[in-house]
Homo-oligomer: A and B are copies of this chain.
Amino acid sequence: MSEVSPAQTTIGFIGLGVMGRSMASHLLAAGYSLRVYTRTQTKAAPLLEAGAIWCESPAALAPECDVIISIVGFPHDVEEVYLGENGLIAHAKRGSTLIDMTTSSPLLAERIGREARENGLAFLDAPVSGGDIGAREARLAIMAGGSEEAFERVRPIFEIMGKNINRLGPIGAGQHTKMANQIAVAGTMLGTCEALAYAKFAGLDPEQVLQSIGGGAAASWSLNNLGPRIIQEDYAPGFFVKHFIKDMSLAIEAARETGCATPALDLALAMYQQLAAEGHEDAGTQVLARLYETGRKQDL
C-alpha cells in the first residue's frame, strides 16, 4: 500500500488537548480532510472554523477515515476510544490505520494491536516527546511501534507533526521507548533539583553554579532548561507534575513486567507523589526543587 497523501486520505483526530490541537492544525494546514472528536467540544472550535468536521463519537468518526490518530489522557481513555462499545476497533473501516500517540501502557498497545489485526486494521503506537512547544512548532520526537509497512504508509503524516521520527520495533516498542525516555528524565530531574538545592544550602549563587557546571559532565536538558526556572522559583508548567506521575507509574508497571529494577524511578515517583499530595500536581516538574527546602529533609 502506498503512502498517504492529502488528496486521497481523510484523517480522523481524537483528543484536542494542548498537544492534539496543535498536531491536528498542522495536518489541516497541510491539506488533509480532517474529522475530529474530543470530549469537550468547545476545544474543537478553532479547528472547525479552519475546516475540520465535527463527529459526535469515535464510532461516528471512524467509518469516514483512512487514518485515525488519538492523543488522549490516560490508558483508560485509550481503552475506551479503541476497545469501547463506541470505539475505533468496532467501527473503523477495514484497511484503515489507527495510531495512538498518547503516552500509554505498552501492554495495552499490544492488546489493541491484536484486536486491530483481528478486525483487518493496522495499528501503531507512536507517543511523542517535545511538549506543547514541540507540538506547536511541529518538532516532536515520534517513537513508533508497529509494522514497517504501516509506519512507512503514514510517515508523511508524522513528518508534518515531528522531526525525529523513528520506528523502534513491533507494536508496543513506541511506548517502551517513551518509558525509557521518562526514566532518563526522572534521573536527570533528581540530579538537577538535588544539585541546585545543595548549591543553595551551601550558600552559593545558583546562577553562577549553573554557569560553571552546565557545560560539562553534569550537563542535561533538565539542568540547562529547567535550572534557570528553578532558580527563579518559577514553577509554571511546561510539563505537569500530574502527567509525569502518570508516565512514571506506567514506566514502573512496564518495568515490573520486563523484570527490570528501577530504583531511581521509584525514588522519583515517591517524591513527585509527595508533591502531588501537597497540592502541586498542576505545577511544572521543576517544582521537585521545593521538596528540598529547609526543614523538610526528614521527609525525603
- Looking at the assembled complex, report how far the CB atom of A141 sits from the nearest CB atom of chain B, in whole angstroms: 5
Is A63 an interface residue when CB atoms closer than 8 A count as contact?
Answer: no
Of A106, A130, A194, A205, most B-chain CB atoms within 10 Å? A194
Instruction: Say which residue of B182, B205, B262 sits within 8 Å of A169 (CB atoms).
Output: B205
Interface residue stretch chosen among A22-30, A69-77, A86-94, A215-223:
A215-223
Q: In the assembled complex, which residues on chain B have CB atoms less than 8 Å from the CB atom of A116?
A: none
Q: In the assembled complex, which residues on chain B have CB atoms less than 8 Å from the CB atom of A188?
A: 187-188, 191, 218, 220
Is A47 an interface residue when CB atoms closer than 8 A count as contact?
Answer: no
Q: In the assembled complex, which residues on chain B have CB atoms less than 8 Å from the CB atom of A294?
A: 259
Is A102 an interface residue when CB atoms closer than 8 A count as contact?
Answer: no
Interface residue stretch chosen among A54-62, A147-155, A264-272:
A264-272
Is A176 an interface residue when CB atoms closer than 8 A count as contact?
Answer: yes
Q: In the assembled complex, which residues on chain B have CB atoms less than 8 Å from the CB atom of A225?
A: 217
Q: A190-B187, A192-B184, A218-B221 are in contact. Are A213 and B292 (CB under 8 A)?
A: no
Total number of A residues with any Cβ neighbor in B under 8 Å: 75
Q: Is the CB of A258 within 8 A of B198?
A: yes
Contact with B along A131-162 (1 / 0, CB 8 A): 10010000001010000000000000000000
Of A173, A194, A217, A258, most B-chain CB atoms within 10 Å? A217
Of A131, A134, A164, A219, most B-chain CB atoms within 10 Å? A219
Measured CA separation A227–B187 after assembly (Å): 14
Instruction: Say which residue of B106, B200, B213, B221 sits within 8 Å of A177 (CB atoms).
Output: B213
- Looking at the assembled complex, report how far the CB atom of A276 sits from the nearest CB atom of chain B, in whole angstroms: 17
Q: A177-B213, A199-B177, A209-B177 are in contact. Are A194 and B262 (CB under 8 A)?
A: yes
Taking CB atoms and an 8 Å cut-off, the chain A residues in 170-192 that contact chain B are 173, 176-177, 179-192
Q: In the assembled complex, which residues on chain B have CB atoms less than 8 Å from the CB atom of A296?
A: 261
What are 17 of the A-B contact pairs (CB < 8 Å)?
A166-B211, A168-B212, A177-B208, A177-B209, A180-B195, A180-B209, A181-B195, A182-B218, A187-B191, A188-B188, A188-B191, A190-B191, A191-B191, A191-B264, A198-B262, A261-B292, A261-B297
